[in-house]
Amino acid sequence: MSLVSAALFGLLQALTEFLPVSSTAHLLVFGELLGHSLDDRRFRAFVTIIQAGTTLAVLVYFRADIARLVAAAARGLARGRPFGTPEARLGWYIVLGTVPAALAGKLLEHRIEALGNWVIAGSLVALGLVLLAAERLASHRRRVEDVGAGDALLIGVAQALALVPGSSRSGTTITGGMLLGFTREAAARFSFLLSVPITLAAGAYKLWSTVPDLRGEAAWTVATVVGTVVSAVAGYLVIDWLLAWLRTRTTYVFVVWRLAAGAAIAALILSGVLPAGAEAPPPPPPALHAAP
């Protein structure tokens, strides 16, 4: 792993983690094309650890929102009124929305990791079409302040669907939010906030389990540090850009991106460049770290 490749992977992680296009699919394809086998424990550790950079980007970008929600939830709990204020309610709704993905990740992790590359290609296309439907049919009127318990639970179920490789955590949650009538920006903002608990918990576990694979591998360790720093800095910029984009523009560009990526992966499978099955399990999804 050269430092240039490490930086490119970090940039790719940042772009595809937050855009609704599936980071798993892109990391898998580019890894194979650049000659990195997923059977290599060092490469799998690299892919997992650089995802911590995008988690850090979310925490830094939304630090004020996160601090406000946590403080409001704690004050409400101390006063015996956990849902007493809108911010306290939103904080607890984020916790509620985290439950489906946490349960699904625990129960289905190994089965999901056994899915092959055809599933990735199919997920890219199928959920790209669902995103298209959401874009065309949604009312795009509701704000983050309008999130209720039912909304949080349904978007949480959408987040759990992102365990299927190729789905994209941001893609499923933004699509789910739009189908519930939220504006594109509100759906994205809630998607980012909803990602915080699951990525922190799952990310800590994955870091603890994969860091030992780089022990004694100086070159890979340096490359991993470079990739993580690039993913953190680029991730911050991508979040800011995406929210600005969704204020005034549609998600059609991401629909086209998903369809093209799905078709490209299918072509690579048919041409023998990528294996059709799951001889080597795909890297864990950035957002959930358990199986996009």
End-to-end CA distance of the chain: 24
Q: What is the pLDDT of residue 154?
A: 96
Strand partners, 182: 142
Number of C-beta neighbours around residue 8 at 10 A: 15
Q: What is the pLDDT of residue 115?
A: 64
Domain ranges of the chain: 3-271
CA separation for the pair 127, 164 (Å, rounded)? 11
Angle, CA of 201, 212 and 109, to the nearest 5° = 45
Q: What is the pLDDT of residue 112?
A: 60
Tokens of 274: 């990528």
pTM for the full predicted model: 0.86
What three-state secondary structure class fits 146?
helix
Helix (H) or strand (E) run with residue 18 in it: helix 3-18
CA separation for the pair 120, 67 (Å, rounded)? 36
Whether residue 186 contacts residue 8, with contact meaning beta carbons closer than 8 Å, is answered with: no
Whether residue 262 contacts residue 117, with contact meaning beta carbons closer than 8 Å, is answered with: no
pLDDT 10s per residue in the chain (292 long)?
789 999 999 999 998 888 988 877 788 778 777 777 666 788 888 888 888 899 999 999 999 999 999 999 999 998 888 888 999 999 999 999 999 988 887 777 666 655 678 888 999 999 999 999 999 999 999 999 999 999 999 999 999 998 888 888 899 999 999 999 999 999 999 999 999 988 888 778 777 877 787 888 888 899 999 999 999 999 999 999 999 999 999 999 999 999 999 998 899 889 887 777 654 444 444 444 433 3
